[in-house]
Amino acid sequence: MPPRKKKDPSTPSTMDELKDMLWKAADKLRGSLSAGQYKDIILGLVFLKYVSDAYEERRETIRTDLLADGYDEDQIADLIDDAEEYQGYGVFLVPAQARWQHLAENAKGKPAIGDEPGRTIGSLVDEAMDAIMNANESLRGTLPRLYNKGNIDQRRLGELIDLFNSMRFSRQGSHRARDLMGEVYEYFLAKFAAAEGKRGGEFFTPPSVVRTIVEVLEPTSGRVYDPCCGSGGMFVQAEKFIETHDGDPTAISVYGQEANEETWRLAKMNLAIHGINNAGLGPRWGDTFARDMHSDVQVDFVMANPPFNIKSWTRNIEDPRWRYGVPPANNANYAWIQHILSKLAPNGKAGVVMANGSMSSNSNGEGDIRAQIVEADLVSCMVALPTQLFRSTGIPVCIWFFAKNKGSRAGEVLFIDARNLGYMVDRAERALSDEDIQKIGATYHAWLHGPDRDAAEPSPSSVEPASEASGVETNTVASAYEDIPGFCKSATLADIKAADYALTPGRYVGAPEAEDDGEPLDAKITRLTTELLEAFDESARLEKVVRQQLERLDG
């Protein structure tokens, strides 16, 4: 048998190895850069690599098709740069000076280009960013231009570009450039969020939390909105949900707003890499409370993770969005909730991550606002989540689910206590497993429209029903719902009123049923009492022995 060929340690064989190798290589560039600058530089390069690979992939497809149709080289040269042949397929235009190959040819070991001492690889990258933004209206003002600054190690920048060049992101097996680069981009976002701590939480929501919202809402078609969209993770997971269920990702349109300029740019790039039209993020960043950029838009789904407990926000007591009460000046939680409710179409639904305090707070009129929302029958489900899901904050969180039309579940609210679910990723962070997410989603759908109900969940108002518009098969056929002590409970509005409108799931689901081990209760109490008294006696004996030994030492 011939000897087994050793694996080249510089060549990744799995996606995880590829991401890890790229991260370690990128980390060498950190130097004296701030976390924010470093993030912009690396994610900008990932984006540049993606758009170039996608462009070259599309260019080769056009060429192949034209050759098959009998065109000669001169005719192909005249047609291959037709902008519509790229933009019509969701591919950005990439001028020659911005293509990755051009950068790679001038990258490795060349801190200065040719005979021009001031011409660095960083200057070429900045020019590439400019060229792409000028060629694509939707990217204007989006891409970073900071690669030629004095604190950027040009040699290491060139080495990183060379490494990216060797990774071949165009086609690997059944993956396309978009799929591969999308995974790398998300991986880097997660790594940067972990590295930046609390600041990182402003632009990154843990994927398992986002997936839980998506699994419950099932956004298969229609308008999807996020008023504080961060880096766009909600939209990416919505598209993944549709693809997983063999639907049409173009059946949804996204609308978002982000107050932080840097994060807004991240979102534009993230959506572009995932092939999602990012025009719905608006022409610029902006405060949702000060100026709603989508004020005339009613949506089918809202998915959001607003910043928790904001004490200073743009408050106007005359704002028509405060239909259920004016939110307090020192906390924006109920401002976010009411803004989101104001965006829902007649059959719209929403999933919103909130701090746990929002479920029971009565300070500054919040209890009255919550009571009004409950009595309006807008709350469909409350989910208490386990701790440590957010690396950026220790605040325990929950998810509020709203529905403008609950069908036959009108007058009821489902409570799910998921605090005991999840697993530890490391010492600092927990995540929900696939099984946990499916359990929450299946419980909700069984409750909302299981076989024991005589009415199905209404379809989105602004589009055709999902089964017709997108062809997506979802969890709409579910087993009969049953309350499970310690996990889920369907409560009436009267039950909630009796609890003073507190929405904490633990109040309703109760304690889990004790397992029946076959031992009669009286016998178990007698046995445990005997064992406890024996333990006390043994403890007293050991204490006496220890005292005797200490007295000997003193003597």
For residue 234, with 0-12 CB atoms within 10 Å meaning exposed, 13-18 middle and 19 or more buried, which class applies?
Answer: buried
Write out the two tokens for 431.
């995540």
**Coil, strand or helix at 11:** coil
Computed over its alpha carbons, how large is the radius of gyration of the chain?
28
Strands (DSSP E) contained in 84-132 are none
**For residue 272, with 0-12 CB atoms within 10 Å meaning exposed, 13-18 middle and 19 or more buried, which class applies?**
buried
Residue pointed to by tokens 């000997």: 552
Burial of 23 from C-beta contacts in 10 A (0-12 / 13-18 / 19+): middle
Q: Quick check: 282 and 251 in contact, CB under 8 A?
A: no
pLDDT at 357: 95
Contact 98, 131 (CB under 8 A): yes
C-beta neighbour count of 528 within 10 angstroms: 10
pLDDT at 226: 96
* CA 104/CA 165 separation, integer angstroms: 7
The predicted pLDDT at position 177 comes to 53
Which residues are bridge partners to 302 per DSSP? Answer: 225, 350
- From residue 336, alpha-carbon distances to 111, 283, 331, 347, 457 in Å are 49, 22, 10, 19, 25
| Nearest-angstrom CA–CA distance, 127 and 145 | 8
Show the tokens assigned to 491: 């409560």
Q: Are 348 and 300 in contact (CB under 8 A)?
A: yes
pLDDT at 454: 44
Rounded average pLDDT per 10-residue block, the chain, 555 residues: 49 67 76 74 87 89 92 90 88 93 78 60 95 91 89 86 70 50 75 63 76 96 94 89 85 93 87 82 92 95 94 94 97 97 97 96 96 98 94 84 95 97 88 96 91 44 39 55 96 97 96 72 84 88 85 74
Question: Is 366:348 a contact under the CB 8 Å cutoff?
Answer: no
Half-sphere exposure of 371 (CA within 13 A, CB side): 13
Does domain 15-172 fall under CATH 1.10.10.60? My reply is no
Domain boundaries, the chain: 15-172, 197-509
Domains 15-172 and 197-509 share a fold: no
Residue (of 210, 216, 204, 274) closest to 243 by Cα position: 274
Report which of 75, 64, 416 is spatially closest to residue 213, judged by C-alpha positions.
416
What is the per-residue pLDDT for 346? 96
pLDDT at 14: 67
Structure tokens at 492: 């009436």
User: Which pLDDT belongs to residue 169?
Assistant: 52
3-state secondary structure of 161: helix
Q: Does residue 388 sit in helix, strand or coil?
A: coil
Indicate the DSSP class of residue 6: P
| pTM: predicted TM-score of the whole model, two decimal places | 0.79
Q: Which top CATH class is 197-509? A: alpha beta
Would you state the pLDDT for residue 188?
78
Position 141 scores a pLDDT of 86
| Measured CA distances, 184 to 16, 22, 189 (Å) | 9, 9, 9
Task: Report the distance separating Cα 66 and Cα 367, nearest Å.
Answer: 66
- The Cα-based distances of 501 to 327, 339, 358, 360, 409 in angstroms read 17, 20, 11, 8, 18
